[in-house]
Amino acid sequence: MSPMTQRSQKRWRWWREALSAIAFAVAPYSTVAGDTVPDPVKLANLVRQDCGSCHGLTLKGGLGKPLTADRMTQWDRSQIVHIILDGVPGTPMPPWRPLLSEADARWIADSLKKGMLQ
């Protein structure tokens, strides 16, 4: 069925595993390289769970400000993207640029403004 010999199949499997191991290891940083397409499932989980540890799971705030749609009206999209990527100096809000791409941040800003993640 496959044109590959058993040996080359084995080798291919080895490479595939090695590559996926590397991909897994660098996954948290992979978005640094280029503006990849945002992964809505991953980003929604990140916002709810990880942003949620300071902003609350329902985004109603905690140590960080509330991120509910009604609160998001005071900033425009580019301001929110800027806050996400570069943080707010003097506060615990960290710059997410090492972990998120511009496209990711735009997706998060839009979703917050629409109240999609509450």
Partner 1 sequence: MIRAARIVLFVALAMLARPLAASELRGTGNLGIVIERASGSVMIVDAGAHRMLGRVDGLGDLSHASAVYSPDQRYAYVFGRDGGLTKIDLLTAAIVKRVMQAGNAIGGAISDDGALVAVSNYEPGGVRVFESESLVQVADIPAVGANGKASKTVGLVDLPGRRFAYALYDAGEIWIADFSKGKGPAVTRLSGIGKQPYDGNVTPDGRHYLVGLFGEDGVVHVDTWENPLKATRILDGYGRGEEKLPVYKMPHLEGWAAAGGVLLLPAVGRHELIAVDLRDFKERGRIATYGQPVFAVARPDGRFVWVNFAHPLNDTIDVVDTLTMKVVHRLKPGPAVLHMEFTPRGHEVWVSVRDADRVIVYDAATFNKKAEIPAAKPSGMFFTARATRIGQ
Site residues for partner 1 per CB under 8 A: 28-29, 45, 48-50, 52-54, 56-58, 60-63, 87, 90, 92, 94-96, 98-99
Close Cβ partners of 114 (under 8 Å, ≥ 6 residues apart): 69
Identity of the residue, 9 or 98, whose beta carbon is nearer to partner 1 in the bound complex: 98
Work out how close the CB of 24 gets to partner 1 at its nearest, in angstroms, rounded to a whole number. 10
Question: Computed over its alpha carbons, how large is the radius of gyration of the chain?
Answer: 19
The region that residue 94 occupies, defined by phi over 0 for left and psi between -120 and 50 for alpha, beta otherwise, is beta
Rounded Cα distance, 107 and 109, in Å: 6
> With respect to partner 1, which residue has the nearer C-beta, 9 or 58?
58
CB-nearer residue toward partner 1: 28 or 40: 28
